[in-house]
Structure 1
Amino acid sequence: MYEEIRKEAAAAAQEICQVAKLQKGQILVVGCSTSEVTGHTVGSDSSPAIGQAIYEGIQQVLAPKGIYLAAQCCEHLNRAIIVEAEAAGQAELCNVVPQPKAGGSFATAAYHGFQHPVALEEIRADAGLDIGGTLIGMHLKKVAVPVRLEQNRVGQAMVLAARVRPKYIGGERAIYNEDLK
Structure 2
Amino acid sequence: MYEDLAKAAETAVRELLETARMKENGLFVVGCSSSEVAGHKIGTFSNTEIADALFEAIYAVLKEKKIFLAAQCCEHLNRALIVEREAAEYYRLPIVNVVPQPKAGGSFATAAYHAFREPVAVERIQAQAGIDIGDTLIGMHLQPVAVPVRVSIRKIGEANLVCARTRPKFIGGERAHYDERYL
Query: TM-score per shorter chain, which class?
Result: over 0.9
Residue 151 of structure 1 deviates from its aligned partner by 1.2
Residue 24 of structure 1 deviates from its aligned partner by 1.0
Unaligned runs of 5+ in 1: none
2:154 and 2:20 mapped to 1: Cα distance? Answer: 16
Q: 2:143 corresponds to which residue?
A: 141
Which amino acid is 1:5 matched to?
L
2:118 and 2:13 mapped to 1: Cα distance? Answer: 22
Residue 148 of structure 1 deviates from its aligned partner by 1.2
Residue 119 of structure 1 deviates from its aligned partner by 0.2
1:17 and 1:85 mapped to 2: Cα distance? Answer: 23
Q: 1:98 corresponds to which residue?
A: 100
Q: 1:156 corresponds to which residue?
A: 158
With normalisation by structure 2, the TM-score equals 0.97
Which amino acid is 2:69 matched to?
L
SS in structure 2 of the partner of residue 63 of structure 1: helix
Unaligned runs of 5+ in 2: none
SS in structure 1 of the partner of residue 35 of structure 2: helix
Aligned residues: 181
SS in structure 2 of the partner of residue 91 of structure 1: coil
Q: 1:44 corresponds to which residue?
A: 44
Residue 19 of structure 1 deviates from its aligned partner by 1.0
Which amino acid is 2:145 matched to?
V
Which amino acid is 1:33 matched to?
S
Structure 1 runs, 4 residues or longer, greater than 6 Å off: none
> Cα RMSD between the aligned structures?
0.7
Query: Aligned residues: percent identity?
Result: 57
Aligned pair 1:83/2:74, yes or no? no
